[in-house]
Amino acid sequence: MKTVTVNASVRYDVLIEKGCLSRCGEMTAEIFDPKKSTAAIITDDTVAGLYLDTVVDSFQKAGFSVCCFVFPNGEDSKSHDVLLQVYDFLIENHVTRTDFIVALGGGVVGDLAGFAAATYLRGIRFMQIPTTFLAAIDSSVGGKTAVNIPAGKNLIGAFHQPSLVVCDPCTFSTLKPETFADGCAEMIKYAMIWSEDFLRLLETCDINEQIEEIVAYCVDIKRQIVEQDERDCGIRMILNYGHTLGHAIEKITNHTVTHGHGVAIGMVLITKLAILMGRCEQPLLNRLCAVLKRYHLPTAYDGKVSDLIDSCLHDKKRAGSIIRLIFVSNVGKTDIVPMDTDDFTKLLSEDTPC
Ligand code: NAD
Ligand code: GLY
């Protein structure tokens, strides 16, 4: 078993082991008392069909009372409507502050269930059991929780750290290839912002052969960043490399372009802008595109630049007329650059780098 301990405002372990899903109940009993707490499991219908029985069985065997809420899979469910249904479910099942929520699924389940945990009864504890590669290496760690509203992604949210993360990489075997690729985009993001050695590994290795190590390595990068800046006021912003443009593409396409695919295109576009501004060189872009293609990810945006600009200007990272852009000048070397939205608009439209 690989363990990464995150020392944020809450100290918690991320436990990573192939095949551990059937033991998640006993692993949880190390930190929550089965005699005093109910596990309120929240998941989506796809994950429920695959893994809910195993998880319920494991929690019950460990002595927990369990209740379950299942919602339709997909980004559209990360909404206020489904959130209100989650609150109703928690109330109907008499879930109190001594109980805890279990987010079983991908980033949509984790963000929604985490936000419910952050806000229900002014906050109850929760744990994450990520079942997508993206959730395992990124969204289940660090405490960002949110729902979407029509004006944009993640506009309503809270920082709320989990008490435990249990990751069984065997669950990735049932992912659609494109959903696994979504996680690969975040993995490549970590390499670009943090480590030449890691990027070199990704350029050559078969990640399936060392998936536990890869998950632990990515989580450990996130740990180092979150421990320095839990609330996203400084260095944590580098985790948003490619995200402003990526979120914009997700929104324009009504999420038919998924998060990881949007981030992949976003990293390419921001790197093109960086070249135009003299902040990095063409070989870095070539390398980024090659590694994205290796993991079956897109490298081009085929929509309208005007839509991209409109959508970016609604990004929550915007502060007044300033938008914060994350540039990578060399692998592992990042700059957080505040830019006036007028200049950003001009740069995107004049140079149409798509
Ligand atoms: P997702 O949760 O929608 O999962 C993708 C699809 O895979 C869904 O249909 C789901 O039902 C299915 N699925 C999940 N696990 C499965 C499995 N093991 N086998 C088969 N199918 C499975 O998407 P995602 O890519 O995991 O997460 C994307 C979301 O995460 C976005 O909303 C994004 O904004 C958010 N996110 C949050 C953070 C954060 O720090 N909180 C970071 C990155 C992304
Ligand atoms: N995924 C971005 C963050 O956690 O800050």
Å from CA of 61 to ligand 1 middle? 28
CA dist 53 and 30 (Å) reads 21
Å from CA of 203 to ligand 2 middle? 24
Pocket test residue of 70, 111, 132, 251 for ligand 1, highest count of atoms within 8 A of CB: 132
**Helix, strand, or coil here: 109?**
helix
Structure confidence by residue, pLDDT tens digits, 61-72: 999 999 999 999
Å from CA of 51 to ligand 2 middle? 26
Å from CA of 333 to ligand 2 middle? 18
Ligand 2-lining residues (CB < 6 angstroms): 138, 142, 144, 232, 236, 239-240
Measured from the CB, is residue 105 less than 6 Å from ligand 1?
yes
Closest atom, ligand 2, to C-alpha of 232: 5
Looking at residue 318, its pLDDT comes to: 65
Å from CA of 179 to ligand 1 middle? 8
Whose C-alpha lies nearest to ligand 1, atom 2? 106
Measured from the CB, is residue 242 less than 6 Å from ligand 1?
no
Q: Is 44 left (phi over 0), alpha (psi -120 to 50) or beta?
A: beta
Looking at residue 209, its pLDDT comes to: 96
Looking at residue 310, its pLDDT comes to: 86
Closest atom, ligand 2, to C-alpha of 239: 2
Among 331, 216, 308, smallest CA distance to 257 is for 308
Looking at residue 317, its pLDDT comes to: 58
Looking at residue 168, its pLDDT comes to: 98
Å from CA of 279 to ligand 1 middle? 33
Å from CA of 237 to ligand 2 middle? 8
Pocket test residue of 115, 141, 144, 218 for ligand 2, highest count of atoms within 8 A of CB: 144
For the chain (length 354 residues), average pLDDT per consecutive 10?
97 98 98 97 98 98 98 97 98 98 98 98 98 98 96 91 98 98 98 98 97 98 98 97 94 94 97 94 98 98 89 70 93 95 82 51
Q: Give, as one character, the DSSP assignment of residue 51.
A: I
Looking at residue 152, its pLDDT comes to: 80
Strands 144-149 and 100-105: unpaired
Q: Give, as one character, the DSSP assignment of residue 118.
A: H
Measured from the CB, is residue 78 less than 6 Å from ligand 1?
yes
Å from CA of 10 to ligand 1 middle? 24
Looking at residue 352, its pLDDT comes to: 52
CATH code at 2-174: 3.40.50.1970
Measured from the CB, is residue 144 less than 6 Å from ligand 1?
yes
Looking at residue 210, its pLDDT comes to: 97
Structure confidence by residue, pLDDT tens digits, 21-41: 999 999 999 999 999 999 999
- Spatial neighbors of 139 by CB under 8 A, at least 6 apart, are 106, 107, 110, 111, 130
**CATH superfamily of the domain spanning 178-349:** Dehydroquinate synthase-like - alpha domain (1.20.1090.10)
Looking at residue 321, its pLDDT comes to: 82
The domains of the chain are located at 2-174, 178-349
Looking at residue 37, its pLDDT comes to: 96
CA dist 43 and 147 (Å) reads 15
CA dist 167 and 133 (Å) reads 10
